[in-house]
Amino acid sequence: MTRFFSGGEVYDTKGQKVIDFFFNSSGKLKSLKERSKITPPTLLPKYGMVSEQSQKLSELMGASVFDTPKPVPMLSDFVAWFSGDDEIVMDFFSGSGTMGEAVMSRNAHDGARRKFILAQIPEATPQESEARNAGYENIAEITKERLRRAGTEILKGECHPDWNKDVGFRVLKIDTSNMEDVYYRPDEVKQADLLTAVDNVKPDRTAEDLLFQVLVDWGVDLTLPIRRETVQDKTVFFVDDNALVACFDTGITEDLVKELAGHEPLRVVFRDKGFVSDAVKINVEQIFRQLSPTTDVKSI
């Protein structure tokens, strides 16, 4: 205080300049401080206004389908700063899919192999909105189409020579089990009910539904390449060549089983009721034990 009244400058412990002293209504001595009015500068470069991002997205999509998209350059910088070259970037609230585009864009720039996972509920677009009029009934549909178009545009631009040019993605939806629900205890089941239990797969499920259930159950990477082939008139899926082989058709014969065993897959799976006879079903494990002893055999 002596320094203040002698004309010197006084600062408190927070670095704020004291400009006067006074007594409050309780008679306590207080100080009046000069508080800074300077807004601390951001470390982030300027990425433009929201309106600019909306305009860019509209040009990509051909219509104004999303009101508040995040800036792709900003998220691309975040990806570069906070993720490694082979890491997975997760966005739990993906909206229009900006993070996915940002990951692809950054990979194209630095040649990395990052992957992304985007989560978005199928929230309905407003009635009479531009998005609805353009054919997008929910936000998830916008996300998927934005990723397709963004990937195409990225491939047209300059790319790092080491980049694998992978702009593909898969869409998985959460659903109930593929297996029929069982509501009765064994002692409550009547003989007449047994016929309804012959096929334990729900009738509206596709072979792809069953395949991805198996991939999850076995802990197989969902991003591995999948090839579909017709073998002896049956549809067969080859996951990463021989990581997993799956056939969910009916009428599977012993000849088909032997041909699949010849590929020596790490895992093979069939539909439980898919075999042409009980004898073939019983012999499957024996066939693989002879022709491909390291294969893990499973029926669902």
Q: What is the pLDDT at residue 210? A: 94
> How far is Cα 173 from Cα 122, in angstroms, rounded to an integer?
10
Q: What is the pLDDT at residue 43? A: 63
| Mean pLDDT value of segment 129-157 | 96
Separation in Å, CA 117 to CA 92, 148, 160, 166: 8, 15, 23, 15
| pLDDT tens track for 53-108 | 889 999 999 999 998 899 999 999 999 999 999 999 999 999 999 999 999 999 99
| Mean pLDDT value of segment 36-61 | 77
Share of the chain above pLDDT 90, in %: 69
Q: What is the pLDDT at residue 119? A: 97
The average confidence (pLDDT) of the chain is 89
* Residue 268 identity (one-letter amino acid): V
Q: What is the pLDDT at residue 215? A: 94
Q: What is the pLDDT at residue 232? A: 96
Residue with the larger pLDDT of the pair 99 and 181: 99
